[in-house]
């Protein structure tokens, strides 16, 4: 299926330099014999937040995993900042400047929060690590209280703070964030939304999200996929107006 | 859909190093082919029955004593390997101490005859009873730990028995062992040969019956997914103990025949090498098929016989690299075994079952 | 949750691990004191020293296993074979290094150049390098050929490494052209001699060296695992290898490194064993593997300090058992293994489910 009514780059108002940071073209991914992604194409604009929407099992998580090389695509191209990612191993992809915050947050439960962050600060000097830690503590002032605590004992929201901070400990240009609202209390979701809005100024974000409030507040652009195909995409403001689309594919009604 | 995916991922993780899905189906088809022999004889059953008839008349046709001894060895190790297959191939239990039962079987007849003056059959019954009880005991205390831990416990028990058999000189004569030839009613070569033949046949058909019974299906279910079998409501510990007891009794009988065949029982029957042999045989032949164990035992014993013969060792002396490997039987065994585990993880039978359709297609008549 | 966690005596005492440690140490002391009433004081000290040396040897052996099996969850039966290879390679090269330069037909042998007629100290140092490198190379080979494709597949690990045991044990006999089961030193390795802290107690310098080596290894590995980024990567990689990859680390390289390190430690264990018992055999690894397994399980899988405590426990008790129940000396460790697995399979410090 061809993506329809793609906005041309000329119509994009607030891309800082109207440049494509990450481009997926016709990506096909299989998990064992299941054909999960059946030709997904996307363009992630530099400096903006793009939200990937779709029902359960649409292939959102697999898209992120395909970008990270955790489920390598069999067909299609993924280029990041002008270099191809398909065929590279996960750690090479991560080193090229992509941070990944997986669905279950993927924190190391047996380590303290601080150790989690230290591990993420790959190859940084102590001074640089301090600077980044300061930045994260500004973003999540609460985190200072549980830096020495074992990450496995933290609440979901606290774990999410650690997981997102981990993505900020190196010089990442792009953050892939998978369902940060999953399993969190509504008030915590609100805090995460605020953080992500602040974060948008520093880093390009590709967000997978089911929570429509979060998606519509954080996102500048959206991509809607279903059954491993692109359905549509465009500006977030367009989607909010399109009641039919949101009802059909997201099962939500927008007030 | 998402749970499906997760399961698929887990399955893929499990299968990454082994079989594709359809190859596994073919393998299962081959296994069920073999288990069809519930009321009638299956194909391997017919082959084995036919072979048994040939083997039964061989002594009357004047077979060379060396060959007769070799065949007896093959037969008794086939029974031993099948008893191991019941544990490893059908129930998924790892034991590294199967020599414990094998050795205790051998020692019980030898000790009964030489130290207590019992007739052979009394020693044999005592050995079977001891091993059955020991099986219950070992199973009860150690089957609650799984995988490598159970393996380590059995290895530890067998090593302890091995140490004790060497140390308790006044009972076991230590390293020099007990000579069964001194016993009056010890079976002669031909009787031993027939004992081995009967043991092998009874083991094959008995275990075949066992694994195709409802009990056998539960054992396979435990192998496939222990948690699920437990959830369905089976007391898996009890079933595992039953498997272990059957296996222990057969191993004990095989050990007795081994004692008769060698004429001597020494601590070697409890050694780690004896524990390792049935595992290697089962892996080589193909686990979970019974007749795979027979094939594996045959190959290993015949290879051992040929390669350890003086003529062979002399003839390969000085060959570059190959020579030293062929000269050292255990080294060769290790190499074969590693290659099998790496490249044919389903053994000869499993690999044959996987590629049978392809090979058939190659030789299909073109019309 | 509001209060930052500070080192606090009360909290420290509530730590179950520490409690276990304290109760184990106290219990051990009580048992020792009890036995002590039956024997004289110098004997007691002698036993304690023997026990410490035994513990150090056990620990060196178990530390490698603790890394490979306890931490990385890889079941490596070839570990014992690496132990044997390390010990025999050490003895073999030490014997060669101390031999006077070859003359006549001996000089045509491919290892003739190793016969340098060295003094014990340089010969021991060089042989140590040979032994450790042998262990490292074997570990690298085993990882590269076998374990690499089998992470997370314990059944295949067991099957394959069992085969490797056969191959390694047999090729050992070929490579070092062993004529019999036992292999001996032709000269005494450094450090030789002894000293007397009191008139009735005699301590060998080699015992001191072994204990020091054990302490150094403990300190080094503990520091590596808990205080360095390498340690973080390894601990993280054990928990969630994919996530560590996604943070930009090549987990395979780190795992390979740990495996090689574990094998080097196994070789060091073999060397310490051969020095301690002034000789070795081609079977020494098999038995030591079981003992090391006991130590690792007692300490708890995945707990490196646990392995040290386990080694101390087994090492200090075993001279007493050997003294009071000479028949049980060999079987003691096996029985201990069975007991531990049945009573507390997760070990003293283990948090894992086994």
Look over chain B and give the mean of its residue pLDDT values, rounded to a whole number.
Answer: 81
**C-alpha to C-alpha distance for B316 and B335, rounded to whole angstroms:** 17
- Closest to A57 (Cβ–Cβ): which among B1, B11, B21? B1
Q: What is the pLDDT of residue A69?
A: 92
Suggest the residue from B3, B6, B12 to mutate for an interface test with chain A (most A CBs closer than 10 A). B12
**Contact residues, C window 253-292, toward B, CB-based 8 Å cutoff:** 286-287, 290
Yes or no, beta carbons of A32 and B8 under 8 Å apart: yes
* Per-block mean pLDDT, blocks of 10 residues, chain C (354 long): 46 61 76 65 78 90 88 86 94 89 71 79 92 95 86 79 87 84 82 80 87 94 90 89 92 93 95 90 83 83 84 84 74 77 66 40
B186/C255: higher pLDDT: C255
CA angle A230, A234, A238 (to 5 degrees): 125
Distance CA(A206)–CA(A250), nearest Å, equals 18
Per-residue confidence band for B207, with pLDDT thresholds at 50, 70 and 90: very high
State yes or no: pLDDT of B327 exceeds 50. yes
Q: Is B331 on the interface with C (CB under 8 A)?
A: yes
Are C354 and B146 a contacting pair at CB < 8 A? Answer: yes
For residues B322-332, give the mean pLDDT. 75
CA–CA separation, C252 and B118 (whole Å): 61
Please write the tens of the pLDDT for every residue from C306-351: 888 889 888 888 887 777 777 777 778 777 777 777 666 666 665 5
- Whether residue A145 and residue C232 make contact (CB cut-off 8 A), yes or no, is no
Name the one residue in this structure whose structure tokens are 């949101």: A246
Q: Do A110 and C235 touch (CB under 8 A)?
A: yes
Question: Hey, of C164, C170, C173, C282, which one would you mutate to test binding to chain B, going by the most B CBs within 10 A of its CB?
Answer: C170
pLDDT at C105: 65
B21 pLDDT exceeds 60? no
What is the spatial distance between Cα C261 and Cα C68, in angstroms, rounded to a whole number? 9
In terms of phi and psi (left: phi > 0; alpha: psi -120 to 50; beta: otherwise), the region of C104 is left
CB-CB neighbors (< 8 A) of C229 in chain A: 118-119
3-state secondary structure C135-170: HHHHHHHHHHHCHHHHCCCHHHHHHHHHHHHHHHHH
DSSP letter, residue C69? I
> Does B2 contact A57 at a Cβ distance shorter than 8 Å?
yes
pLDDT at A211: 84
Residues B108-164: tens digit of each pLDDT: 999 988 888 888 889 999 999 999 999 998 888 777 777 778 888 888 888 888 888
Q: In chain B, whose CA is at the least distance from the CA of A60?
A: B2
Q: Name which of B166, B174, B342 to mutate to probe chain C: the one with the most chain C Cβ atoms within 10 A of its Cβ.
A: B342
How far A94 CA lies from chain C's nearest CA (Å)?
5
Burial class (CB in 10 A: 0-12, 13-18, 19+), C213: buried
Interface contact flag, C342 B142, Cβ < 8 Å = yes
Cα–Cα separations (whole angstroms), residue C87 to C75, C119, C164, C184, C274: 21, 20, 18, 11, 6
Work out the minimum CA distance from C7 to partner chain B, whole angstroms. 37
**Residue B253: what pLDDT?**
96
Chains that touch C (3 or more CB pairs under 8 A): A, B
Residues of A in contact with B8 (CB under 8 A): 31-34
pLDDT digits (tens, 9 = 90+) for B72-88: 999 999 999 999 999 98
> What's the confidence (pLDDT) of residue B140?
82
pLDDT of residue B104: 94
Rounded (to 5) percent helix, strand, coil in chain A: 40, 25, 35
Q: How many Å lie between the alpha carbon of A250 and the closest alpha carbon of chain B?
A: 16
- The subunits that touch chain A, with at least 3 C-beta pairs less than 8 Å apart, are B, C
More confident residue, B230 or A32: B230
A31 touches chain B (CB under 8 A): yes
Closest among A157, A139, A158, A172 to A67, alpha carbons compared: A172
Q: What are phi and psi of C72, to 5 degrees?
A: -90, -5
pLDDT, position C114? 79
pLDDT number for residue C258:
93
pLDDT on residue A212 = 84
Of all residues in chain B, the percent with pLDDT exceeding 90 is 27
Range list of H helices, B174-290: 189-212, 214-224, 226-232, 236-262, 272-285
For residue B279, what is the nearest residue in chain C, using CA coordinates? Answer: C159
Structure tokens at C280: 């070795």
Instruction: Please name which of A135, A156, A155, A240 lies closest in space to residue A198, comparing C-alpha atoms.
Output: A135
Residues in CB range of B59: below 8 A, 6 or more apart: B68, B190, B193, B194
CA B212 – CA B207 distance, rounded (Å): 8
CA distance B25 to chain A (A): 15
* Contact C150/B at CB under 8 A: yes
pTM for this entry: 0.82
- Tell me, what's the pLDDT at C156? 79
pLDDT digits (tens, 9 = 90+) for B258-294: 999 998 899 989 988 889 899 989 988 888 888 889 9
């Amino acid at each position: 299926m061809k993506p329809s009514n793609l906005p041309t780059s000329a119509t994009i108002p607030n891309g800082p330099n109207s440049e494509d940071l990450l481009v997926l073209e016709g990506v096909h991914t299989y998990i064992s014999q299941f054909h999960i992604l059946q030709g997904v194409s996307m363009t992630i604009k530099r400096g903006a937040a793009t939200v990937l929407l779709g029902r359960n099992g649409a292939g959102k998580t697999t898209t992120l995993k395909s970008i990270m090389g955790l489920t390598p695509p069999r067909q299609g191209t993924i280029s990041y900042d002008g270099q191809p990612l398909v065929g590279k191993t996960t750690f090479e992809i991560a080193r090229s400047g992509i941070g990944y915050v997986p669905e279950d947050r993927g924190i190391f439960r047996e380590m303290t929060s601080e150790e989690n962050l230290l591990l993420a600060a790959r190859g940084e000097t102590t001074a640089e690590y301090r600077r980044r830690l300061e930045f994260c503590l500004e973003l999540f002032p609460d985190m200072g209280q549980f830096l020495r605590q074992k990450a496995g004992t933290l609440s979901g929201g606290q774990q999410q703070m650690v997981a997102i901070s981990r993505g900020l400990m190196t010089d990442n240009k792009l953050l892939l964030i998978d369902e940060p609202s999953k399993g969190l209390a509504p008030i915590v979701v609100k805090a995460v939304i605020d953080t992500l809005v602040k974060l948008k100024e520093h880093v390009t974000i590709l967000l997978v999200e089911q929570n429509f409030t979060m998606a519509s507040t954080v996102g500048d652009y959206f991509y809607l996929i279903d059954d491993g195909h692109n359905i549509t995409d465009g500006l977030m403001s367009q989607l909010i107006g399109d009641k039919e689309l949101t009802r059909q594919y997201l099962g939500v009604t927008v007030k | 859909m998402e749970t499906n995916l997760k399961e698929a991922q887990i399955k893929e993780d499990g299968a990454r190093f082994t079989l594709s899905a359809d190859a596994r189906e073919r393998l299962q088809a081959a296994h069920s082919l073999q288990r069809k022999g519930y009321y009638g004889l299956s194909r391997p059953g017919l082959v084995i029955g036919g072979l048994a008839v040939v083997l039964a008349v061989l002594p009357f046709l004047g077979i060379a004593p060396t060959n007769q001894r070799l065949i007896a060895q093959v037969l008794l190790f086939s029974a031993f390997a099948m008893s191991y297959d019941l544990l490893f191939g059908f129930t998924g239990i790892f034991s590294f101490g199967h020599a414990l039962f094998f050795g205790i079987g051998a020692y019980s007849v030898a000790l009964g005859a030489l130290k207590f003056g019992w007739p052979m059959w009394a020693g044999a019954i005592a050995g079977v009873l001891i091993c059955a009880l020991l099986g219950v005991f070992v199973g009860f205390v150690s089957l609650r730990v799984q995988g490598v831990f159970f393996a380590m416990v059995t290895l530890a028990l067998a090593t302890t028995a091995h140490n004790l058999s060497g140390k308790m000189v006044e009972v076991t004569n230590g390293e020099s062992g007990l000579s069964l030839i001194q016993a009056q009613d010890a079976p002669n070569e031909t009787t031993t040969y027939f004992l081995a033949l009967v043991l092998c046949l009874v083991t094959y058909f008995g275990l075949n019956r066992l694994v195709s019974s409802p009990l056998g299906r539960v054992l396979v279910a435990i192998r496939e997914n222990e948690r699920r079998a437990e959830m369905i409501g089976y007391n898996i510990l009890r079933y595992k103990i039953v498997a272990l007891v059957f296996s222990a009794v057969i191993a004990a009988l095989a050990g007795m025949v081994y004692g008769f065949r060698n004429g001597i029982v020494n601590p070697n029957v409890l050694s780690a090498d004896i524990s390792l042999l049935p595992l290697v045989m089962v892996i080589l032949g193909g686990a979970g098929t019974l007749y795979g164990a027979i094939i594996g035992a045959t190959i290993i014993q015949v290879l051992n016989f040929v390669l350890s013969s003086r003529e062979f060792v002399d003839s390969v002396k000085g060959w570059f690299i190959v020579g030293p490997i062929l000269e050292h039987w255990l080294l060769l065994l290790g190499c074969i075994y590693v290659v099998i585990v790496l490249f044919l993880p389903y053994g000869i039978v499993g690999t044959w079952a996987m590629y049978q359709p392809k090979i058939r297609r190659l030789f299909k008549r073109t019309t | 949750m509001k209060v930052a966690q500070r080192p606090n005596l009360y909290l420290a005492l509530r730590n179950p691990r520490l409690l276990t440690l304290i109760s184990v140490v106290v219990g051990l002391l009580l048992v020792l004191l009890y036995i002590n009433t039956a024997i004289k004081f110098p004997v007691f000290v002698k036993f304690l020293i023997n026990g410490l040396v035994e513990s150090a040897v056990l620990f060196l052996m178990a530390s490698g296993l603790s890394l490979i099996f306890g931490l990385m969850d890889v079941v490596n039966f070839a570990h014992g074979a690496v132990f044997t290879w390390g010990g025999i390679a050490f003895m073999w090269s030490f014997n060669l290094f101390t031999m006077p330069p070859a003359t006549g037909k001996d000089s045509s042998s491919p290892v003739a150049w190793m016969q340098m007629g060295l003094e014990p100290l340089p010969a021991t140092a060089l042989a140590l390098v040979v032994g450790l490198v042998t262990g490292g190379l074997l570990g690298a080979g085993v990882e590269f050929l076998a374990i690499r494709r089998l992470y997370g597949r314990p059944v295949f690990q067991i099957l394959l490494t069992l085969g490797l045991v056969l191959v390694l044990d047999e090729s050992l006999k070929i490579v070092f052209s062993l004529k019999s089961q036992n292999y001996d030193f032709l000269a005494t390795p450094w450090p030789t001699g002894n000293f007397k802290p009191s008139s009735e107690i005699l301590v060998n310098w080699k015992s001191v060296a072994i204990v020091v080596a054990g302490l150094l290894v403990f300190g080094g590995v503990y520091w590596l695992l808990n205080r360095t980024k390498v340690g973080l990567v390894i601990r993280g990689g054990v928990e969630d290898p994919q996530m560590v990859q996604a943070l930009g680390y090549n987990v395979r390289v780190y795992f390979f490194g740990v495996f090689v390190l574990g094998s080097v430690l196994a070789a060091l264990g073999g060397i310490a064993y051969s020095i301690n018992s002034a000789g070795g055999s081609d079977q020494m690894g098999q038995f030591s593997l079981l003992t090391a397994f006991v130590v690792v399980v007692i300490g708890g899988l995945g707990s490196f300090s646990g392995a040290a405590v386990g080694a101390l426990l087994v090492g200090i008790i075993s001279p007493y058992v050997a003294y009071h129940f000479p028949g049980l000396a060999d079987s003691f460790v096996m029985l201990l293994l069975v007991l531990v697995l049945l009573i507390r399979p997760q070990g003293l410090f283990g948090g894992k489910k086994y």
